[in-house]
Structure 1
Amino acid sequence: MAPAVRRYRVDGRVQGVGFRWYVREHARALALTGWVRNEADGAVVLVAAGEAAMLETFERHLRVGPRDSTVTGIVMRELTSFDARGLPAPFAIER
């Protein structure tokens, strides 16, 4: 079965608070592949692939974020399994 692949854009106070590290650690704990990076407009964008149930759990973690963050919105878009090809494993922080 092909992995589910999702792209997320997370808005709010998500830069300078350890959000990318938090995302990476939760993604790795759930055996997801992919990457996370800061955007110039203050958002965090990420692509994650894995079992659909693990991605649902992962999304709940995204909505909480680390202690000093404030998540005001998440936009998720389903991608195709083709988009999972070449994703970093383990999950990585892009700079």
Structure 2
Amino acid sequence: MTVQRWKLIVTGRVQGVYYRASAVAQANDLGLHGYARNLPDGCVEIIAEGTEEQLDKLAAWCREGPPAARVHSVNVDKQDATGEFSEFGILR
């Protein structure tokens, strides 16, 4: 399986609702590597590396998020994997 890197930008009410921590848990369950972080504009950025199947599952979860989130959109930018991550965590 080919490893891919996806950059996901999640818009809506996604800060202050446990979105990053929930995304980390989901990504770890899927066996992905990368990070989630809040952006100054109120969005959440997720950089994830894994197989297309794993990344598709993460993107599907991102469209829903945790119960308190109100996701408006998820923009996916597919990139070449770099292999720079050894785990998935929160970047501050």
TM class, shorter-chain normalised? Answer: over 0.9
Higher helix share: 1
Q: Which among 84, 88, 92 is matched to residue 91 of structure 1?
A: 88
Unaligned residue ranges in structure 2 (runs of 5+): none
**Structure 1 letter corresponding to 2:84:** G
TM-score between both structures, scaled by the size of structure 2:
0.95
Unaligned residue ranges in structure 1 (runs of 5+): none
Question: What is residue 55 of structure 1 aligned with on the other side?
Answer: 55
Please report how far the alpha carbon of residue 30 of structure 1 lies from its aligned counterpart in structure 2 after TM superposition. Answer: 0.3
Deviant stretches of 4+, over 2 Å = none
CA RMSD of aligned residues (A): 1.0
Identity fraction in percent: 30
Q: Tell me how many residue pairs correspond in the alignment.
A: 92
CA distance in 2, matches of 1:48, 1:54: 10
Give the conservation status (yes or no) of the 8 Å contact 2:27–2:58.
yes
Question: What is residue 72 of structure 2 aligned with on the other side?
Answer: 72
Q: Residue 28 of structure 2 aligns to a residue in which SS? A: helix
Question: What is residue 20 of structure 1 aligned with on the other side?
Answer: 20
